[in-house]
Chains A and B, each alone.
Chain A
């Protein structure tokens, strides 16, 4: 690993969980230059982001499953308000990596930092506090099938935050409204389309006021015509300054919105950089190669 300059940075920051803003080649897209998503990666290198501590950092995450090394010391750090996109062939470990960040799949080794504070993975309370602040969107939605849309959103508010039924309901309704589903609040998951289910899942995650959102291929299980409505929500969140780490195959979307693209293969980060760097016409990157193969398959 550590083949790219970016990887080297991640390795360096680990002692204090800190990284300097200058290390990041770009940033500030999501809040300072909102509305620029047609810019195809040509974001201004404003980088006025002074917060030295990354919102989320994962350092040297490794995971064995049986005798197979699924993750081979993967490191990543995301500044506040950044959207980073992980791409790579299936089986690359993208999903495992995202789920190991909040220990849904506990990593064998490695450290996780949220705003500079290290997560103690073996402390259940610490882990729960961490998970409340790091939202997760799943590929297959994982809505609670026995609860209506609004109860899906409010259940964690009540059981985790201890909010009253009334307050939780109110908050849930406003979150559903944000994703345009207030009029579907009483429907059960089985009565919603895939795109609507995923939007409810967003409302559910957002209701917890997460500092970071992890998105595990949020559009992969959707019919093509439903992908747009979900990407719209992500675009809206990115413009609002939500910090996000997303595995996806939506290359056009990544090109337009990502601060950084991270290419993974066989459990390793192969290369990473801005869309402009990795997807420049004629550039001979693995990412480019992968994308051209994607295009052929489509």
Chain B
């Protein structure tokens, strides 16, 4: 027991370094997903037929393909003759593009749940649809979408455990390495579980706090 604890203790700094890689890749992926997902949601609700179709194909593709397959395709395949993306960058891109597909659907649902009178009123004031969507619809829809978005964060965090297969030095990669070298597979797997759990809890707490911060008194849609 003493031995187990001391091994864990000495390997902890190394593994916590993996937490930074995991949190970093998930954060970047969520950001990429947000930047792509919101415009896609807007396009899917307000866009013309062609735009809606293209977004539909995108969403269909990324929802239908396993993340692991995409990781391998991007890392080993697509740009191979031109340049080699690092494992970390490939991971962020794949997780981000996948998350964009899911996030677009979260935001689409929120936008569609907005009463039609909101955009109507903005038009009646002479606003462009672009202003109406940016300043009236999205600020409300994003608030509605936040609980679902928090969920997407927790899912993506756990999906990110796959990126170690490319050799990114995230939590799982380092756990795997330590477990192999010490032959303490169970103990280190347990540690991995605890770390993911703690990151999830902290992340959701922060998002929850953010939700309260942007709360609007009495705000609700019937």
Q: Report which residue of B125, B136, B139 has the largest number of chain A beta carbons within 10 angstroms of its beta carbon.
A: B125
Check B216–A145 contact: CB distance below 8 A.
yes
Contact B120 A160 (CB under 8 A): no
Contact yes or no, B118 A132, CB < 8 A: no
- Nearest Cβ on chain B to A9's Cβ, whole angstroms: 28
CB-defined contacts of B220 to chain A, threshold 8 Å: 190
Which of A102, A142, A146 contacts B216 (CB under 8 A)?
Answer: A146
Determine if B117 is an interface residue (Cβ-Cβ < 8 Å). Answer: yes
Tell me the bound Cα distance from A124 to B130 in angstroms: 12
Pairwise interchain contact B131-A145, C-beta atoms closer than 8 A:
no
Pair A160/B218 contact, Cβ less than 8 Å:
no
B contact residues, range: 20 to 34
How distant is the Cα of A104 from the Cα of B202 in the complex, in angstroms?
A: 46
Question: Are B128 and A128 touching (Cβ within 8 A)?
Answer: yes
Query: Are A131 and B124 in contact (CB-based, < 8 A)?
Result: yes
Quick check: is B212 within 8 A (CB to CB) of the other chain?
A: no
Check A159 against B127 for contact (C-beta < 8 Å). yes
Inter-subunit contact B131/A159 (CB<8 Å): yes
Among B128-172, those with CB < 8 Å from A are: 128, 131, 135-136, 139-140, 143
Contact in complex: B126, A208 (CB < 8 Å): yes
Given A140-B117, A159-B131, A145 and B219 touching (CB < 8 A)? yes
Instruction: Pick from B122, B128, B139, B219: contact of A188, CB below 8 A.
Output: B219
Query: Could you say which of A143, A190, A208 has the most chain B C-beta atoms within 10 Å of its C-beta?
Result: A190
The A212-254 residues at the B interface (CB cut-off 8 A) are none
Say if the beta carbon of A191 comes within 8 Å of chain B.
Answer: yes
Chain A contacts for B140, CB-based, 8 A: 144-146
B123 beta carbon closer than 8 Å to chain A: yes
A144-B136, A146-B140, A188-B218 as given contacts; A156 in contact with B118, CB under 8 Å: no
Contact of B221 among A128, A136, A145 (CB under 8 A): A145
Q: Is A94 an interface residue (CB 8 A)?
A: no
Q: Are A146 and B126 in contact (CB under 8 A)?
A: no
Q: In the assembled complex, how far is the CB of residue A145 from the closest CB belonging to chain B, in whole angstroms? A: 6
Residue of A nearest to B126 (CB): A132
Q: Which of A56-107 contact B (CB under 8 A)?
A: 99, 102, 104
Total contacting residues, chain A, CB less than 8 A: 29
The chain B residue sitting closest to A208, CB to CB, is: B125
- Cβ of A25 to closest chain B Cβ, rounded Å: 31
Given A155-B135, A190-B220, A191-B217, do A132 and B125 touch, yes or no (CB 8 Å)?
A: yes
A144 to B123 CA separation, bound complex (whole angstroms): 12
Asked if B57 is at the interface (CB within 8 A of a chain A CB), the reply is: no
Assess whether A202 is interfacial by the CB under 8 Å rule.
no
A138 contacts the other chain (CB 8 A): yes
- B123 partner residues in chain A, CB cutoff 8 A: 104, 131
Option from B124, B125, B128, B219 in Cβ contact (under 8 Å) with A146? B219
0/1 interface trace, chain B 96-132, chain A, CB 8 Å (1 if under): 0000000000000000000101101111111110010
Are the C-beta atoms of A160 and B126 separated by less than 8 Å?
Answer: yes
A102 near B124: Cβ-Cβ < 8 Å:
yes
In-complex Cβ contact of B219 among A104, A159, A190, A208 (8 A) = A190
| Inter-chain contacts of B217 with A (CB < 8 A) | 187-188, 190-191
In this assembly, does A204 line the interface, its C-beta being within 8 Å of a C-beta of chain B?
Answer: yes
Are B127 and A160 in contact, with the CB atoms below 8 A?
Answer: yes
Whether the Cβ atoms of A128 and B216 lie closer than 8 Å is: no
Write out, one digit per residue, whether chain A residues 101-116 have a CB within 8 A of any chain B CB (1) or not (0): 0101000000000000
With contacts A146-B140, A190-B217, A191-B218 taken as known, whether A159 is within 8 angstroms of B121 at the C-beta atoms is: no
Tell me if A129 counts as interface (CB < 8 A to partner B).
yes
Give the residues in chain B near A144, CB-CB below 8 Å. Answer: 118, 121-122, 136, 140
User: How far in angstroms is the closest Cβ of chain A from B116?
Assistant: 9
Expressed in whole angstroms, the Cα–Cα distance for A156 and B135 within the complex equals 10
Question: How many angstroms between the C-alpha atoms of A191 and B124 in the bound complex?
Answer: 24
CA distance A124 to B118 in the complex (A): 19
Name A187's closest neighbour in chain B (CB-CB).
B217
A156 touching B126 in the complex, CB below 8 Å, given contacts A144-B118, A146-B139: yes
23 contacts between A and B (CB under 8 A): A99-B120, A129-B126, A131-B125, A138-B117, A138-B121, A142-B118, A142-B121, A144-B140, A145-B118, A145-B216, A145-B219, A146-B139, A146-B140, A156-B126, A156-B127, A159-B127, A160-B127, A189-B218, A190-B216, A190-B220, A191-B218, A205-B125, A208-B126
Known: A138-B120, A159-B131. 18 other contacts (CB 8 A): A104-B120, A124-B128, A128-B126, A129-B126, A136-B124, A138-B117, A142-B115, A142-B121, A144-B121, A144-B136, A145-B140, A156-B126, A159-B135, A160-B126, A160-B131, A190-B216, A204-B125, A208-B126
3 shortest interchain CB distances as A-B pairs: A190-B218, A132-B126, A142-B117
